[in-house]
Each structure stands twice: as structure tokens, then as C-alpha cells.
């Protein structure tokens, strides 16, 4: 076989494999593995379509909505579009221990499913925090340093 024919055959086989892989991805079960990212208002606007699939819901923890039951390791709270009192909110339920930085008026992303009772059951709770690092000042205790970070956090979200 001539080298030109061999190169042409290799190119055709490679293109065929690439086309097969692309076809599998395009027409396979890829849609079942997608995770949609929605805000509370987008989730509520979807109505029945939102019930069932895995969704990532992002928003702010609504002030006054946190109910933590340490004995049962159960957490209920509301995720809203913003800090406003009239912002659309979704009730979230979790059986996970929340991250240490979890509190009211902080941005969160929760992953889970929305049910017919209008409750979002999360299997993953992530806190959206500032990416700025500030080392402790000379002589500052760890508790004082952590407290100062919590006080600075709302300013970083504005």
C-alpha cells in the first residue's frame, strides 16, 4: 500500500470515529445528565417542569428563614432572588450539616430536586463567598479573625 493511500485511510477512519463519538453525545442520553442552574424566580416560573430533574438553585438565604434541628441534623431555609423582603423565595430542605459560613443574607447554591409540595430537597449546599483572603493581623486571635471575616462578608457581596 502506498503511503498516500495509508494516510488517506487513517484520516477517513479518524473522521469516522470522531463523527460516531459526536453522534453518540448528540443523540445519546446526555440530556438526562444535565444539571440546570436557576434562580428562585426562574424555578417558580417553570411550574410542573421543575419537578423531578436535578437542579442547581442559586440565591440568597432569606433573613429569618433558617430553622436548624441539630438533633436530627435537619436544616430548613428559604433561598430568595435577593435580600428584599418581597423577593421570590423557594423553601429548601437539607439533611446535611451546613458549611461553617452558612448564615442569613449570604449567597448559596444548592443542588437537588424540587417536589410537588413546593420544597427543594438538596443533597449539596455550597456557600458563595468572597475569594479575597486576608491573613490575621499581628496579635489577632483566630476567633477575632473569623469574626472580622464575617463582618466584612456582606460588603463583598454588594
As a whole number of Å, the CA-based R_g of the chain is: 24
Whole-number percent of the chain with pLDDT over 90:
37
Instruction: Give bridge partners of residue 60 from the DSSP assignment.
Output: 80, 107
Sign for the pseudo-dihedral over CA of 48, 52, 54, 59: positive
At residue 42, what are phi and psi to the nearest 5 degrees?
-65, -40
User: Tell me, which fold does domain 35-132 have in CATH?
Assistant: OB fold (Dihydrolipoamide Acetyltransferase, E2P) (2.40.50)
Q: Which residue has the higher pLDDT, 134 or 39?
A: 39
Q: What pTM, to 2 d.p., does this model score?
A: 0.64
Bridge-based pairing of strands 74-80 and 89-94 is antiparallel
Q: What is the pLDDT of residue 23?
A: 82
Average pLDDT over residues 101-123: 92
Q: What is the pLDDT of residue 156?
A: 38
Hey, where are the domains in the chain?
A: 1-30, 35-132
Q: What is the pLDDT of residue 158?
A: 39
Does residue 155 carry a pLDDT above 50?
Answer: no
pLDDT by residue (tens digit) across 37-93? 889 999 999 988 889 888 999 999 999 999 998 888 899 999 998 777 677 899 999
Amino acid at each position: 500500500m502506498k503511503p498516500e493511500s495509508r494516510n488517506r485511510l487513517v484520516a477517513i477512519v479518524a473522521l469516522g470515529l470522531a463523527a460516531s463519538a459526536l453522534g453518540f453525545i448528540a443523540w445519546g442520553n446526555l440530556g438526562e445528565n444535565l444539571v440546570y442552574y436557576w434562580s428562585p424566580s426562574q424555578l417558580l416560573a417553570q411550574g410542573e417542569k421543575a419537578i423531578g430533574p436535578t437542579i442547581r438553585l442559586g440565591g440568597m438565604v432569606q433573613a429569618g428563614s433558617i430553622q436548624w434541628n441539630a438533633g436530627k441534623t435537619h436544616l430548613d431555609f428559604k433561598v430568595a432572588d435577593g435580600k428584599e423582603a418581597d423577593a421570590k423565595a423557594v423553601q429548601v430542605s437539607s439533611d446535611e450539616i451546613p458549611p461553617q459560613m452558612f448564615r442569613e443574607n449570604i449567597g448559596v447554591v444548592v443542588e437537588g430536586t424540587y417536589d410537588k409540595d413546593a420544597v427543594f430537597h438538596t443533597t449539596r449546599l455550597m456557600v458563595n463567598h468572597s475569594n479575597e483572603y486576608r491573613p490575621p493581623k499581628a496579635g489577632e486571635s483566630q476567633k477575632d479573625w473569623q469574626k472580622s471575616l464575617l463582618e466584612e462578608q456582606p460588603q463583598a457581596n454588594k
